[in-house]
Structure 1
Amino acid sequence: MKFVLAPDSFKGTMSAATAAATMSAGVRDVFPDAECIEVPMADGGEGTTQSLVDALGGKLLHADVADALGRTRTAHFGWIEAERLAVVEIAEAAGIEHLTTEELNPREANTAGVGQLLNHILELSPARLIVGLGGSATNDGGWGMARALGAVATTAAGKEIETRALALADAANLDTSGISERWQDVEITLACDVDNPLTGERGATAVFGPQKGVQPNEVEVFDAALAQWGKLLDSASGRAVSEIPGAGAAGGLGAAFMALLGAKPQRGVEVVIATVKLGEKIAGADFVFTGEGSMDFQTKFGKTPWGVMLEARAQGVPTIAFTGNLGRDVESLHENGFAAIIPTVRVVGTLKEALATAQPSLQDSVRMACRILAAARTRE
């Protein structure tokens, strides 16, 4: 029998690679001769870099960059030498996770660290770059990144503007000649699961600004600054990138990536599926096992198990998902393609206890599922 084990990480307990290996162990407890293909997965969010590095035999590299408030931090990115592929999550530099609630400051926060990280990546001469957009503490439209890459924005009087979000309101000209031409040889994919434009009612500021510290009475001011920046990006790229779905991702970083580096947005899990060639690995499989820490009705909105199931369903291969927390309205997941969704928590206890036993519990649950499959085979 052939099993493809393609889980996401179980947040706080197991990486995707560990979860896949644990699933394999559970399968072999029942089917010792089974072919087990381990494919660590992700959906473009936290953990994507590690999953792709694990799945493709790459390595993690690091560089010192500025965080959203300009403080030095060590950021990591993935490098898969065989494919000349770099993978980076912008949150490594400009992530909201690196700030306390009291430190949130959208007026000062910027994406310069993202640009610095990209400069380090360019030194490796990548052919491809996958960028995980999400988790930013910024609302600067990627201006900080643009400046770190070599772009210059000036006022109508020719004065360079500061690397602050609201300074964009005074930007009248954008010179991109300082951005390295080497970026033209890099295929950049944005793993992006939001379809918001740069500005407006569904824009970066209105939808995501409040969680980054933008006050209700400041939304229009920040949005106006991004609108002015959007005009310059549109002009620089020769197309209306500010209106493209995903332009508003990560505080407007999406728009800057598209306009200045020619990046193309794509749903995160689809990026990972294509990169690890999941479809090829599923070919000829008897079952696909997937899962993550928590699953509910929202899983079908682009989460890893859903993407894996759709890929398997296209080849007529049944998918069984395993999860630590089984949430609301999961019947809709069964109705749309999952053969089964199995909770892995084995005993009643505290959350701390459940997290501490997550790995053996996952192996036990996979083993039990395989025993059921084995019993069904004896009756065929």
Structure 2
Amino acid sequence: MKFVLAPDSFKGTMTAATVAATMSAGVRDVFPDAECIEVPMADGGEGTTRSLVDALGGEMRTVEVSDALGRSRTAHFGWIAAKKLAVVEIAEAAGIEHLTVEELDPHQATTVGVGQLLNHIIELSPAQVIIGLGGSATNDGGWGMAYELGAIVKNSSGNPIESRALALADAANLDTSGISERWQDVEITLACDVDNPLTGERGATAVFGPQKGVQPEEIALFDAALAQWGNLLDETSGRAVSKNPGAGAAGGLGAALMALLGAKPQRGIDVVIHAVSLEDQLAGADFVFTGEGSMDYQTKFGKTPWGVMLAARKQNIPTIAFTGNLGRNVESLHENGFAAIIPTVREVGSLTEALEKAQPSLRESVRMACRILAAARHTEKF
């Protein structure tokens, strides 16, 4: 029998690679001769870099960059030398997770650190770069990143503007001649699960600005600054990138990446499925096991288990999901979806205890599912 084990991480307890290995061990407890294909997965959010590095045999690398407020921090990215593929999450540099609530400041927050990350990556001469958008503390439209890459923006008087969000209101000219031509030979994919444009009532500022510290009375100011920036990006690229779905991701960073580096957005789970060649791995499989730490009705909106199930369904392979926390309205996930969803918490106790036992509990849950499959196989009912 062939099992494909394609889970996401169980956040706070196990990486996707550890989950896949634990599932594999549970399968072999019952089917010792089974072929187990371990494919660590992610959906473009936190953990995507680690999952792709584990799945593709790459390595994690570090580089010193600036955080959203200009402070030095060590950022991580993935490098898969065999594919000349770099994988990076912009939150490693400009992440809101690195700031306290009191530190949130959209006036000063910048994506300069993202540019520093990309400057380091281009020195590796990559053929492909996957960039995970999400979790940013910035609302500068990617201007800080553009500045660090070599772009120059001047006002109507011909003077360079500052590298901060509201300075973009005075932007009149964008010079991209300082951006390395090497980027023209790089295929850049944005793992992006939002479809917001750069500006307007569904734009970066109106939808995401408040969580980054933009005050209600400032929304129009920031939106107008990004609109001016968007006009320059559209003019420079010859395309209306500011209107593209995903242009408003990461405080408008999506628009800058599309316009200046030719990046193309895709749903995060689709990016990972393609990168790890999941559909090829599924060929000839009898069952697919997937899962993540928590699942509920929202799982079908681009989360890893749902994406894996859809890929398996194309090849008529049943998918069983495992999860530590089974949330609301999961019944909808069974409709044209999972063959079964199995919670892994095995006894009443505290959250701390559940997290401590997560790995052995998962292995036992997989073992139990396989015993049921073995019984059904014995009676020839599948």
Q: TM-score over 0.5 for the alignment?
A: yes
Residue correspondence of structure 1 range 214-363 to structure 2 within 5 A? 214-363=214-363
**Residues 44-97 of structure 1: CA deviation (Å, up to 9, x unaligned):** 000000000000000011100000000000101000000000000000000000
**Residues 320-342 of structure 1: CA deviation (Å, up to 9, x unaligned):** 00000000111110013100000
The corresponding residue for 1:173 is 173
Residue correspondence of structure 1 range 35-184 to structure 2 within 5 A? 35-184=35-184
3-state SS, counterpart of residue 231 of structure 1: helix
1:138 & 1:228 partners in 2: Cα distance?
A: 17
Counterpart amino acid of residue 371 in structure 1: R
Aligned residue pairs, count: 380
Counterpart amino acid of residue 5 in structure 1: L
Residue correspondence of structure 1 range 16-35 to structure 2 within 5 A? 16-35=16-35
2:116 & 2:282 partners in 1: Cα distance?
A: 38
1:331 & 1:320 partners in 2: Cα distance?
A: 14
1:247 & 1:187 partners in 2: Cα distance?
A: 18
Counterpart amino acid of residue 231 in structure 2: K
CA RMSD of aligned residues (A): 0.4
3-state SS, counterpart of residue 372 of structure 1: helix
3-state SS, counterpart of residue 43 of structure 1: coil
2:137 & 2:358 partners in 1: Cα distance?
A: 31
Counterpart amino acid of residue 147 in structure 2: R
Counterpart amino acid of residue 208 in structure 1: F
1:193 & 1:36 partners in 2: Cα distance?
A: 30
2:204 & 2:355 partners in 1: Cα distance?
A: 35
**Residues 200-254 of structure 1: CA deviation (Å, up to 9, x unaligned):** 0000000000110111111111101000000000001001000000000000000
3-state SS, counterpart of residue 193 of structure 2: coil
The corresponding residue for 2:365 is 365
3-state SS, counterpart of residue 334 of structure 2: helix
1:248 & 1:336 partners in 2: Cα distance?
A: 32
2:112 & 2:250 partners in 1: Cα distance?
A: 13
The corresponding residue for 1:6 is 6
Counterpart amino acid of residue 256 in structure 2: A
Which segments of structure 1 move beyond 2 Å, counting only runs of 4 or more? Answer: none
Deviation at 1:105, TM superposition (A): 0.4
Counterpart amino acid of residue 128 in structure 1: Q
Counterpart amino acid of residue 323 in structure 2: T
3-state SS, counterpart of residue 184 of structure 1: helix
2:213 & 2:324 partners in 1: Cα distance?
A: 32
Counterpart amino acid of residue 324 in structure 2: G
1:376 & 1:215 partners in 2: Cα distance?
A: 59
Counterpart amino acid of residue 297 in structure 1: Y
Give the gaps of 5 or more residues in structure 2. none
3-state SS, counterpart of residue 70 of structure 1: coil
